[in-house]
Amino acid sequence: MARIIDGRKIAESVHQETASRVEALKQRGILPKLLFTRVGEDPASKVYVGMKERMSARLGILSETVVLPDETTEAELLKKIAGWNCDEEIHGILVQAPLPSHIRESVIFSNVSPEKDVDGFHPVNVGKLVLGDPTGFVPCTPGGVIELLKAENITTKGADAVVLGRGAIVGKPMTALLSQKGPTGNATVTLCHSLTSNIEERCRQADIIIAAMGVAEFVRGSMIKSGATVIDVGVNRIADASAKSGSRLVGDVAFQEALEVAGAITPNPGGVGPMTIAMLMRNTVLAAERLTA
């Protein structure tokens, strides 16, 4: 029976450290501020931004949310961002994805000032992460996974890790972080995706599985080596007639099966999710510290 990794508890210890850094900034007369923007009324975006606003408030970080209408053009959004980039009272800028299809996310993300890019999506921050340059911002979800592994004393050095999913937000930076030199890296990483052969067998050989494919309950118990660490990044909505809403959220891991085989496993919710927000808050304080150093 696997140890369940308590993401909420680990996130809480990150928050405590963040709150004390907020306090130190305030003592210097600096109020860290995070600017959220979303375009249109995507329901999931509303939920996510709301959660981040509440956590900001709890930690003493000022936040402001700018909601733009669905018909906002790319040029209009870029103009807004240019203004926030120059606004000295704003330390972090978060453009909530998804954006409407007429706005190119890559153009938007690469026009947020890298110094305020607390999501870590700007190419220069992605590049710094890959190059092992610590002056950038690590994207929140893979950064949060690393913190979970660290808090649980899970050895990455020499471990065989399988990353499922090659997305820009999780899979690729996760691969870079686990591969790089240093106490939370030095793993041998195989980056798997929809065209990977023998994916079940690869998972069965892994000491660490990071599931970020976006396929509901893809990782079955039979795909996990006894004692392996399983980190579930997925959030998938599936039909469930017994639920009031007619659907429910599940991860990329079949949790009950995995629990029997794994050595340590994140629940979902309550695993990676709280860490993502914790890293966002920490990045915001880091941005404020750097911008006012």
| Binding interface with a copy of itself (CB under 8 A) | 106, 110, 122-128, 130-133, 136, 157-158, 160, 166, 168, 172-173, 175-176, 179-181, 186, 188-193, 195-197, 202
Q: Which of 33, 80, 96, 232 is catalytic?
A: 96
Minimum CB separation of residue 270 from a copy of itself in Å reads 30
Burial class (CB in 10 A: 0-12, 13-18, 19+), 180: middle
In the residue annotation, 252 being an active-site residue is answered as no
Query: Least Å distance between CB 101 and a copy of itself?
Result: 18
For a copy of itself, the closer of residues 197 and 256 by Cβ is 197
Name the residue nearer to a copy of itself (CB basis): 181 or 244.
181
| Dihedral sign, Cα of residue 252, residue 204, residue 182, residue 149 | positive
Long-range CB pairs of 69-73, under 8 A, 24+ apart, other chains included: 69/39, 69/40, 70/39, 70/40, 70/41, 70/100, 72/39, 72/100, 72/103, 73/102, 73/103
DSSP-derived pairing of the beta strands 229-232 and 264-265: parallel
Please, which residues bridge with residue 164 across strands? 192, 211
Q: Which of 33, 52, 80, 225 is catalytic?
A: 52
- Two structure tokens written together for 184: 């939370």
Examine the residue annotation and report whether 207 is marked as an active-site residue of this protein.
no
Q: Which of 33, 116, 117, 119 does the annotation list as catalytic?
A: 119
Closer Cβ to a copy of itself, 31 or 131, answer by number? 131
CB of 99 to a copy of itself, least distance (A): 16
* CB nearer a copy of itself, residue 85 or residue 110: 110
Least distance between a copy of itself and beta carbon 122 (Å): 7
Q: Compare residues 59 and 206 and give the one whose CB is closer to a copy of itself.
A: 206
Closest distance to a copy of itself from the beta carbon of 2 (Å): 23
Question: How large is the angle between the packed helices 272-291 and 140-151, nearest 10 degrees?
Answer: 110
Task: Determine whether 133 is an active site residue.
Answer: no
| Cα 230 to Cα 11, 125, 167, 171, 223, distances in angstroms | 18, 27, 18, 15, 11
Residue 127 or 246 having the CB closest to a copy of itself: 127
The catalytic residue positions are: 52, 96, 119
